[in-house]
Structure 1
Amino acid sequence: MSLQQENKAIPQEAFDWYDAYAHGGMDRRTFMTKLTGLVALGYSMSFLTSSLLPNYALAEQISFNDPDITAIYETFPSPHGHGEGKGYLVVPNALTQNETTQKKAPVVLVIHENRGLNPYVKDVARRLAKAGFIAFAPDALFPLGGYPGNDDEGRAMQRSLERSKIEHDFVAAAEFIKAHELSNGKLGAVGFCFGGYMVNYLAAVDSDLIDAGVPFYGTPAAKELRKNIEAPLLIQLGELDERVNATWPGYEEDLKANNVSYEMHMYKNANHGFHNDSTGRFDKDNAELAWSRTIAFFNAKLA
């Protein structure tokens, strides 16, 4: 295959197939069969899979040993969930460098997609700490041994867990990290895909739990819970994400009816997962804009 053929843009239908596959609407065999159909059109299978499936070596923007941050793992009690949870805690070193004057900072809960705490989400936590926030990224798969190192297995593991117990685990994580000794008492939450849903859920299940939420391409909480939302929300959506976007009109109607402060940004020509820099869905310009808005929003709401 020529270089010109190899560099052809991936057709949108391939991204749609991947979205269906990643969210349980299509099994792997069907997904790969559909990709095989594109080979006849001049695409190589290796190009398609390397573009659509994650390569986490691409996702590190902030090293775990960056001198400005300290990253460790912490466990927390989750009596209504799986009994105990575990997460990736990243703290700005500036908070602890002066022992005589202990500083406080806002805390942000970082919530992964539907496959466990993968390297991309851990890097997002480090980015937040680099920006001055205490970041905590729990792993929903901790009861099963944690993120297994590949997304296919991670998705299957997360599907095997009871959804309500996962939700309780994230509520417990929010309560745990909000009470951190260096916390200023303000808690934000940012999440992606399933994590976007969890941000919406945390805002709705307890109006006092989070102080600001940024759901990236996440579906809303159950309709009966939405009346509880009081935290301001920054909603981040990709224009090509038909599945999630179909839920937005009804969600917006409820936010308006309950006088919730919200902003919604629809990113042009962006797919579901456009912020994830480990896959071909990544849209650099839109991701950077969305992230700059996220940091500005947390700085404004959590100070």
Structure 2
Amino acid sequence: MDQRIIDLYDRFTHGQISRREFMDRLASLAGSLAAAAAMLPLLQNDYARAAIVPENDARLDISTEQYLSAGTPVTGTLARARRVDAKRPAVLVIHENRGLNPHIKDVTRRLALEGYLAFGVDLLSPDGGTPADEDKAREMIAALDRPTTVARAVDAVRFLSAHTASTGNVGAVGFCWGGGMVNLLAEASPDLKAGVAYYGAQPPLDRVPDIKAALLLQYAGLDARINEGIAAYEAALKAAGKDYTVHIYDGANHAFNNDTNPARYDPKAAELAWSRTGAFLAKHLGAPPPVEI
């Protein structure tokens, strides 16, 4: 697909242009409104492709759980192996700016199948939960109060650290908006041991010295919007003596890990980034017990 179209869609989904402006420009690039309408499904997420690990996988115990943050209930999907005789390192999964959708729930199940106690938090749950309408979800994400939302993520780490099925070692993996939240969480949470940020916005650099977690920062080579902040962030991490690794996947677009998005998904980059994620989490949280097949 024309890179200009992918970049245009990225600008729309991150609130830089309106839907009307997006469709007008898409029609111009595609040649007509009809061609633009036909192209739109290729740009949007197709959640029928989401279930790499089925919701009813017999090896997993999946439930909706909640914790309190400043007295407010926050919910999410908790997934873990049915075998209960072993404690497991925990991983907080933080969604994109579409909320806790089927794709992120599937990512949560994938981590559980690798042996982790995985919690896909819905940071829109205090406001009624993630809606099916992605435009509405993005509007809700944009309206969130950042300090309150970061505090809720910090409390999610505490929730997982204290969970009876957890070893107490907690990491976080986030994508897009969630990748930016991982960066903010690393500055705010003293309990986070490892953070994996996929194409996430960089945090305030003056607070980089507060980071205690090891960081794995994964970026898409074609993601100019996010990548302009890499150099300054890396310089601040290096100056503060932090444990971090940066990988840039050449030729990959923002959201390259999202296998429900045919225009931007990059199987080669996604597979390599996922293998690095698994090795990084095992190194810093401890290797999880196996899941019975």
Unaligned runs of 5+ in 2: 287-293
Q: Which structure 2 residues correspond to residues 132-211 of structure 1 after superposition, within 5 A?
A: 132-206=115-189, 208-211=190-193
Alignment partners' CA distance in 2, 1:14 and 1:52: 9
Match of 2:73 in 1: 84
Kindly provide the CA deviation profile for residues 259-298 of structure 1, in whole angstroms up to 9, marking residues without a partner as x: 1111111101101100011112110111011011101111
Match of 2:203 in 1: 221
> AA paired with 1:210?
L
Indicate conservation of the 8 Å contact 1:35/1:45, yes or no: yes
SS in 1 for 2:132: coil
Alignment partners' CA distance in 2, 1:269 and 1:151: 27
Indicate conservation of the 8 Å contact 1:109/1:136, yes or no: yes
Indicate conservation of the 8 Å contact 1:87/1:138, yes or no: yes
Indicate conservation of the 8 Å contact 2:5/2:26, yes or no: yes
Which residue, 250, 254, 275 being the options, matches 1:272? 254
Shift of 1:115: 2.1
> AA paired with 2:59?
D
Q: Which structure 2 residues correspond to residues 18-33 of structure 1 after superposition, within 5 A?
A: 18-33=9-24
Match of 1:124 in 2: 107
Indicate conservation of the 8 Å contact 1:237/1:265, yes or no: yes
SS in 2 for 1:235: strand
Match of 2:236 in 1: 254
Distance 1:118 1:42, change over 3 A: closer
Shift of 1:38: 2.4
Within the alignment, does 1:65 sit opposite 2:47 as a pair? no
Indicate conservation of the 8 Å contact 1:178/1:185, yes or no: yes
Kindly provide the CA deviation profile for residues 182-222 of structure 1, in whole angstroms up to 9, marking residues without a partner as x: 1111111000011101111111113x221111000011221
Shift of 1:167: 1.3
Shift of 1:45: 2.5
Indicate conservation of the 8 Å contact 2:79/2:112, yes or no: yes
Alignment partners' CA distance in 2, 1:39 and 1:301: 47
Alignment partners' CA distance in 1, 2:29 and 2:95: 31
Match of 1:75 in 2: 66
Kindly provide the CA deviation profile for residues 2-32 of structure 1, in whole angstroms up to 9, marking residues without a partner as x: xxxxxxxx11011111111111101111111
> AA paired with 2:72?
G
> AA paired with 1:53?
Q
Alignment partners' CA distance in 2, 1:163 and 1:205: 12
Match of 1:287 in 2: 270
Within the alignment, does 1:45 sit opposite 2:52 as a pair? no
Shift of 1:49: 0.6
Shift of 1:40: 1.6
Shift of 1:43: 8.8
Match of 2:289 in 1: none
Alignment partners' CA distance in 1, 2:239 and 2:208: 10
> Whose RCO is larger (CA < 8 A, sep 6+)?
2
Alignment partners' CA distance in 2, 1:203 and 1:93: 30
Kindly provide the CA deviation profile for residues 117-172 of structure 1, in whole angstroms up to 9, marking residues without a partner as x: 11111100000000000100111111221111121110012222222211111111
Unaligned runs of 5+ in 1: 1-9, 97-101
Alignment partners' CA distance in 2, 1:27 and 1:20: 9
Alignment partners' CA distance in 2, 1:218 and 1:209: 20
After the TM superposition, which of the residue ranges 123-132 and 112-121 deviates more from structure 2? 112-121
Alignment coverage as a number of residue pairs: 285
Indicate conservation of the 8 Å contact 1:202/1:209, yes or no: no
SS in 2 for 1:188: strand
Shift of 1:42: 11
- Superposition misfits of 4+ residues, deviation over 2 angstroms: 41-47
SS in 1 for 2:20: helix
SS in 1 for 2:192: coil
Shift of 1:50: 1.1
Indicate conservation of the 8 Å contact 2:173/2:195, yes or no: yes
Alignment partners' CA distance in 2, 1:34 and 1:59: 29
